[in-house]
């Protein structure tokens, strides 16, 4: 039986396996080597507490995320009161329990290697 690292695999977000849309955003999902990876685009004014709660049951107990931030600025507010501002080029590891919102007029694009599959 072949393990995850024994075979090369490649997939492009140009042809995602699935696209989910929600107010002021979208999520594109691909599966590579048995792992789901998501690319999310959040438009200016997007806020997790208002834009996806009713659609995806996105609560403050959302899944942990491991993200590469491609563009824009995202404010992360953790349940413990910590706030982190993530910008293009940043990598973030977020435990469960946070809200996020777009800061400024530029769309935010993030690639998530852990949390978006849920």
- Chain segment 13-48, per-residue pLDDT in tens: 999 999 999 889 999 999 998 889 999 999 999 998
Cβ-Cβ contacts under 8 Å for 50 (sequence gap 6 or more): none
Q: Quote the pTM value.
A: 0.84
- Chain segment 52-92, per-residue pLDDT in tens: 654 444 444 467 889 999 999 999 999 899 999 999 999 99
Q: Which domains does the chain have, with CATH numbers?
A: 18-112 (2.60.120.10)
Q: Is 56 left (phi over 0), alpha (psi -120 to 50) or beta?
A: alpha
């Amino acid at each position: 039986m072949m393990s995850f690292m024994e075979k090369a695999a490649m997939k492009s977000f140009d042809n995602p396996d699935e696209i989910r849309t929600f107010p002021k955003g979208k999520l594109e999902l691909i599966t590579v080597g048995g792992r789901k990876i998501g690319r999310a685009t959040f438009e200016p004014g997007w806020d997790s507490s208002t834009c996806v709660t009713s659609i995806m049951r996105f609560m403050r107990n959302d899944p942990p995320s491991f993200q590469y931030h491609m563009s824009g600025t995202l404010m992360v507010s953790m349940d413990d009161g910590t706030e982190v501002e993530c910008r293009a080029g940043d990598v973030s590891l977020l435990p469960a329990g946070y809200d996020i919102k777009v800061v400024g007029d530029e769309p935010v694009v993030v690639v998530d290697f852990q949390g978006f599959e849920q």
